[in-house]
Each structure stands twice: as structure tokens, then as C-alpha cells.
Amino acid sequence: MKNELAAPFPILGIAAWSGTGKTTLLEKLLPQLNEHGLQVAVIKHAHHSFDVDQPGKDSHKLRCAGAAPVLVASHQRFALMQETPGQAEPDLAKLIAMLVPHHPDLVIVEGFKTWPIPKLVLYRDGIGDASILTGTWVAAIAANQPPSIDVTDGVPRLDLDDIDAIARWIVTWVDAKNKALPSASDSSMTQPSMPQSSTTRPSQKQR
């Protein structure tokens, strides 16, 4: 079994088939986690080319001219844009390391399903294969009805539509993970290499 990707803060993956309502759930869940006092960072995997910059803007012109990276900052926010030519997939370990200076209480990772991190798996009956509910890194399951397959004993089962219960579980999970984290003086970040991507694609996209 691969070693869990380590960091000075808990990392929780959110795994679900496309169409389950993952983003909608996170939109409702994040304010509740904030109310519980958690500063939550999110890393989202994009399955396509994307651009947060706008053609015609100075930052876009400079990036096209070869600046790498480009950091744009104002009194309200900043954005770092870095080209990654030749990179097959984003390296989650490197992205996690970029968040360390921000000291989040929790990092939620959407996507990166092959990386060794604990995952809250969301499942809506009739959408995708229920086998997503099994696996080494499943920390909890949130489904809209009891799973039709056997899942690992001891894995918490939550109601997919009960945001309050999911938030409470995450808060409890974060507390337990923090107690288990080694101190900064006797640990260093573990950065597993990028898992080999499968050449087979599921019939329905899992994010």
C-alpha cells in the first residue's frame, strides 16, 4: 500500500462520479466548515485546458511573451499563473507544498483519485458504478440511500443530502487527524511520485 501523502495539515479528497452534485455539496459545506472555525483550502483537478487570465490584459501579454510565472496582486487578492508544458498530470504533492505557507486547517482535494489520500466518497444511486465506494483510501461514504454493494466494515456512512452531518463528520475527522500528525520538529513532508495513470478510461467520468 502506498504511503499516505503527508502534510502539516489534514488532506481530504472528495471523490464522486460526474453528475453526483459534488460542487453543489461543497458550496453548501464550505460555509459550515468556516463556521466551525476551519480555514479550508481547495485544490481542484481540471480535466481540460483552462485559463484564468484574459487576452488583452497586461498579465496575459507578459505571460505570452515568456514570463514564467506571472504573479498579479492587488489589495484584495493575488493570482499566480505558471505554464507547465510537457506535464502529463498535475503533481498533487507539489500543489500541497505550495499551500504550506498559508497554514490552512484543512485541504480539500477534488479529483486526483489515484493519489494516496483519505477520501470522502459521494455516491448517488443510479449515477456511476457503486464500486467507487470500495478501496483502501475510503475514509467515509455519503450516499443518498444504502449502498447496493458491501463496503468496508467500520467506514462511516452518511446521508448525502444531510450537509450538517457531513460537516460534523469532517470536523471530527480533522480533529482526529491533527492529533495524529507528527510535530514539525520530527517530520518532513512526504511527496510520493505521481501514480501511473491507467490507459483505460471509465465509461463515466470520475472526478
Over residues 131-155, the pLDDT tens digits come to: 899 988 999 999 998 877 788 889 9
> CA-to-CA distance for 117 and 11, rounded, in angstroms?
7
What pLDDT is recorded for position 94?
92
> CA-to-CA distance for 115 and 63, rounded, in angstroms?
30
> Other CB atoms closer than 10 Å to residue 104's CB: what's the count?
18
Tens digits of residue pLDDT in 43-87? 998 877 777 778 888 888 888 888 888 888 999 988 888 888 777
Most confident of 146-155, 164-173, 191-200: 164-173
> CA-to-CA distance for 42 and 18, rounded, in angstroms?
18
